[in-house]
């Protein structure tokens, strides 16, 4: 399941919804990303995320399918916010559901690495008197 939204979300509610659809889940791995108050030695006030929603859903669906083909997953969940988001608020939730933890751990990392590097979201950080558009992360091997 993929959700692109401006609204904040409740982690337990979202995970419980997916779990309610499957009785064979033995492991859930999650990554939750928050807006932090400091980046590149600058004090961050908020961020603004822009997204081309149709393209994002299509590419996130493709990466979830890759993860499902590579690991034994029962389901996946990605919730990614856009718009103006303040320090300490959630940006993203990636959850992977499987029978066993190894598949779940590895798939969650795989999906999150894709989000940081290649997903079609654009981020602007807002500081006290300025702002800056950021480039996607480069992954270290």
Work out the average pLDDT over 26-30.
Answer: 98
Give dist(CA 127, CA 96) in Å, integer: 34
pLDDT of residue 138: 53
Q: What is the 3-state secondary structure (H, E, C) of the chain?
A: CEEEECCCCCHHHHHHHHHHCCCCCCEEEEEEEECCCEECCEECCEEEEEECHHHHHHHHHHHHHHHHHHCCEEEEEEEEECEEEECCCEEEEEEEEECCHHHHHHHHHHHHHHHHHHCCEEEEEECCCCEEEECCCCCCC
Residues belonging to the chain: 141
Work out the average pLDDT over 7-20.
Answer: 97
Name the architecture of domain 2-126: Alpha-Beta Complex (3.90)
- In contact, 85 and 91? CB cutoff 8 Å: yes
Is the predicted pLDDT of residue 39 greater than 90, yes or no?
A: no
Is the predicted pLDDT of residue 15 greater than 80, yes or no?
A: yes
The pLDDT tens digits of the residues spanning 95-139 come to 999 999 999 999 999 999 998 887 888 899 999 888 888 776 554
Cα–chain center distance at 68: 17
Give dist(CA 35, CA 48) in Å, integer: 10
Of the candidates 104, 9, 118, the one whose C-alpha atom is nearest the C-alpha of residue 62 is 118
The pLDDT tens digits of the residues spanning 40-97 come to 889 999 999 999 899 999 999 999 999 999 999 999 999 999 999 999 999 999 999 9
When pLDDT is cut at 50, 70 and 90, the band that residue 141 belongs to is very low
């Amino acid at each position: 399941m993929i959700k692109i939204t401006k609204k904040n979300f409740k982690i337990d509610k979202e995970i419980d919804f997916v779990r309610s659809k499957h009785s064979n889940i033995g492991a859930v791995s999650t990554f939750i990303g928050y807006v932090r108050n400091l980046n590149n030695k600058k004090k961050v006030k908020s961020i603004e995320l822009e997204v081309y929603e149709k393209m994002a859903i299509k590419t996130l669906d493709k990466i979830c399918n890759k993860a499902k083909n590579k690991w034994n997953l029962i389901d996946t969940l990605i919730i990614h916010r856009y718009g103006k988001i303040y320090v300490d608020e959630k940006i993203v939730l990636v959850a992977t559901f499987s029978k066993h933890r190894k598949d779940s751990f590895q798939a969650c990392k795989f999906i999150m690495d894709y989000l940081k590097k290649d997903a079609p979201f654009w981020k602007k950080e807002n500081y006290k008197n300025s702002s800056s558009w950021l480039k996607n992360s480069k992954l270290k091997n």
